[in-house]
Amino acid sequence: MRVNATSLQHWIVPVLALAAWEVFGRAGLLPRYLSAPSAILLALWELMSTGELYPALAASLYRVAGGFALGTAAGVVVGLGAGLVPGVRHFFDPLVSFLYAIPKIAFLPIFLLLFGLGHASKVSIIAFSCFFPVFIASRHAVLSVNRILLWAAQNMGTPRATIFFRVVIPAAAPQLFSGVRIGLAHAFVVLFAAELIGSRAGLGNLITSAEEWVRFDEMLAGILCFAVLGFASDRILLAIRARVLRGQIIGTQEQVLR
Partner 1 sequence: MRSLAKSRAWDLVARWYSIPLLLVVWQAAVGSGLVESRLLPGPERVLAALVTDLGNGALGYHAGVTLSRALAGFLLAALIGIPFAAAMARSTLVRNLFEPIFFFGYPVPKIALFPVFTYVFGIGTPSKVAFTFLECLYPIVVTCYFGFRGVETRLIWSAQNCGAGRATILRRVILPAALPSIFSGLRIALPVALIVVVITEMIGDSIGLGYYITIWSTRFTFANVYAAIVVIGICGLVLDQGMLLIRRRAVYWQREVA
User: Interacting stretch for partner 1, rule CB under 8 A, among 42-50, 155-163, 187-195, 239-247?
Assistant: 187-195
Q: Does 116 bind partner 1 (CB under 8 A)?
A: no
Site for partner 1 in 207-236 (CB under 8 A): 207-208, 211, 219-220, 223, 226-227, 230-231, 234-235
Cα angle: 124, vertex 177, 154; to 5 degrees: 115
In this chain, which of 39, 40, 80, 105 binds partner 1, going by CB under 8 A?
105
Q: Does 197 bind partner 1 (CB under 8 A)?
A: yes
User: Interacting stretch for partner 1, rule CB under 8 A, among 51-59, 152-160, 162-170, 181-189?
Assistant: 181-189
Minimum Å gap between C-beta 225 and partner 1 is: 9
Amino acid code (one letter) for 95: L
Backbone angles phi, psi at 81, to 5 degrees: -60, -45
Q: Does 161 bind partner 1 (CB under 8 A)?
A: no
Q: Residue 132 in contact with residue 182, Cβ under 8 Å? A: no
Pick 41 or 196: Cβ nearer partner 1: 196
**Rounded alpha-carbon distances, angstroms, from residue 126 to 103, 232, 255:** 12, 18, 27
Q: Does 93 bind partner 1 (CB under 8 A)?
A: yes
User: Interacting stretch for partner 1, rule CB under 8 A, among 66-74, 100-108, 131-139, 148-156?
Assistant: 100-108
DSSP-assigned states of every residue in 166-224: IIIHHHHHHHHHHHHHHHHHHHHHHHHHHHHHS-SSSHHHHHHHHHHTT-HHHHHHHHH
Q: Does 57 bind partner 1 (CB under 8 A)?
A: no
User: Interacting stretch for partner 1, rule CB under 8 A, among 49-57, 74-82, 91-99, 159-167?
Assistant: 91-99
Pick 44 or 220: Cβ nearer partner 1: 220
CA distance 52 to 202: 11
CA distance 215 to 144: 52
Amino acid code (one letter) for 173: A
The closest of 192, 176, 169, 173 to 67, measured between CA atoms, is 192
The footprint of partner 1 (CB under 8 A) covers: 5-6, 9-14, 31, 33-34, 90-95, 98-99, 101-103, 105-110, 112-114, 185, 188-189, 192-193, 196-197, 207-208, 211, 219-220, 223, 226-227, 230-231, 234-235, 253, 256-257
